[in-house]
Structure 1
Amino acid sequence: MTDDPDLPNFEVPVGLLQDLEDLKATVLALTAQVNALAEGADAGSGSGETSADGEAAAGEEPGDEEEWQVPPFILLLDSPQYDDELRALIEWVEGVLVPGYLAEPSADARWCPEWFEHPVAIARLHGLWLAWQELTDPATCGYTGPSVWHRDHLDSCLRELRNSTGPFAGCTKGEHQIDHRMPGIVPSAWRQVQD
């Protein structure tokens, strides 16, 4: 193969050389892709993300910037985004969760029809809804997602919300009470003693 006297003379099958050349080409192509992605990430920090060819990223107009990669947690939003997210959450809770998963409320399994006035309930139900959106889509989690959602999210969320000490503890069928969980006086061990 080579005339270099320092290298041993090996008989290399022709097919192996072709495989090596294919591997080299694949490695070069992957290296080029990694470099293009790295350059794209660096260029993405400026306005108007463009690729190495100067074209806008697929599906984006120059100057468009994504605000969120994933849905934001509701307690981090300000109006009007908070209001829009709460409206969508109410639709899901009233359209999916209540008819499909909530039995008749009782002293042992409370539910407040005005749950959207309880901040703790909003936070827990929003987290449950975000998990539902992800785990009921086979493209993101496969076919076991709904089972995982029931086991890891639904059961524990409902247990906490409907518990006799949960956010609906002061609500009964005829009465709604929001402030029942507000703490009273700070425990004396936390207060500084003043002489």
Structure 2
Amino acid sequence: MADDDAPDLEVPVGLFQDLEDLKAHVAALTAQVKALTDADPGEAPPDEEDAAVGGEKAGEEWQSPPFILLLDPPVYDDELRALIEWVEGVLVPGYLAEPSADARWCHLWFEHPVAVARLHACWLAWQELTDPATCGYIGPSVWHRDHLDPCLRELRGPNGPFAGCTKSEHRVDHRLPGLVPSAWAMGES
């Protein structure tokens, strides 16, 4: 085939830049895999700065947020403070109507461990599902359906943690077990 017969293909300049970026990522990943497979089990891993790929350091695992009831002070206090800001600033004004016998709410909800645990889980889901970068535009709908609605049904229902609370009386101890479950003791023997 002669040069005159070659098809005229226009390739966007950005495509070449994308290909070069991909080549660089593949080369970095290949080097990382080689370093990990060639390393002795007792040997220290390669320098993380040299093996960084895509903004993450090699060997660094993403860790999920811990269950709030397992945190110790001052980490628990900081997490609870942030949760209180979200509940009082977003959830209460936006989603909670006037409490009633059928839909209770305790203004001291943060003293109810069950409420703290459920609301913390709901808040973590909200943080992820209201970010279009991670969940697109359906995230808020999923959050309402799968997290908020079940959480509020459990908390505000007749058998929920606020069942013993009224506008004039706050009762936390009506649902607390006498002993902490052993699974929550975490290493205490």
With normalisation by structure 1, the TM-score equals: 0.67
Match of 2:14 in 1: none
1:114-137 residue CA offsets vs partner (Å, 9 max, x unmatched): 000000000000000000000000
Match of 1:49 in 2: 48
CA offset at residue 58 of structure 1?
7.8
Match of 2:11 in 1: none
* Mapping 1:132-147, distance limit 5 Å: 132-147=126-141
Count of residue correspondences: 155
Aligned residue type for 2:33:
A
The 3 A distance-change label for structure 1 pair 80 and 152 is same
Aligned residue type for 1:175:
E
* Structure 1 residue 114 corresponds to structure 2 residue 108: yes
C-alpha contact 1:132 1:149 (8 A) present in aligned 2 = yes
* Structure 1 residue 156 corresponds to structure 2 residue 150: yes
C-alpha contact 2:35 2:46 (8 A) present in aligned 1 = no
Aligned residue type for 1:51:
D
C-alpha contact 2:102 2:158 (8 A) present in aligned 1 = yes
Instruction: Please tell me the root mean square deviation across aligned C-alpha atoms, in Å.
Output: 3.5
CA distance in 2, matches of 1:79, 1:149: 29
Aligned residue type for 2:97:
A
C-alpha contact 1:50 1:57 (8 A) present in aligned 2 = no
Q: 2:98 aligns with which of 97, 104, 123?
A: 104
C-alpha contact 1:49 1:57 (8 A) present in aligned 2 = no
The structure that has the greater radius of gyration is 1
C-alpha contact 1:131 1:149 (8 A) present in aligned 2 = yes
Q: 2:27 aligns with which of 26, 32, 47?
A: 32
* Structure 1 residue 168 corresponds to structure 2 residue 162: yes
Question: Aligned residues: percent identity?
Answer: 72
CA distance in 1, matches of 2:114, 2:79: 15
CA offset at residue 39 of structure 1?
5.2
5+ residue gaps, structure 1:
1-13, 16-24, 185-195
Q: Which has the higher contact order (CA 8 A, sep 6+)?
A: 2
The 3 A distance-change label for structure 1 pair 41 and 102 is farther
Match of 2:184 in 1: none
C-alpha contact 1:40 1:49 (8 A) present in aligned 2 = no
5+ residue gaps, structure 2:
1-5, 8-18, 179-189
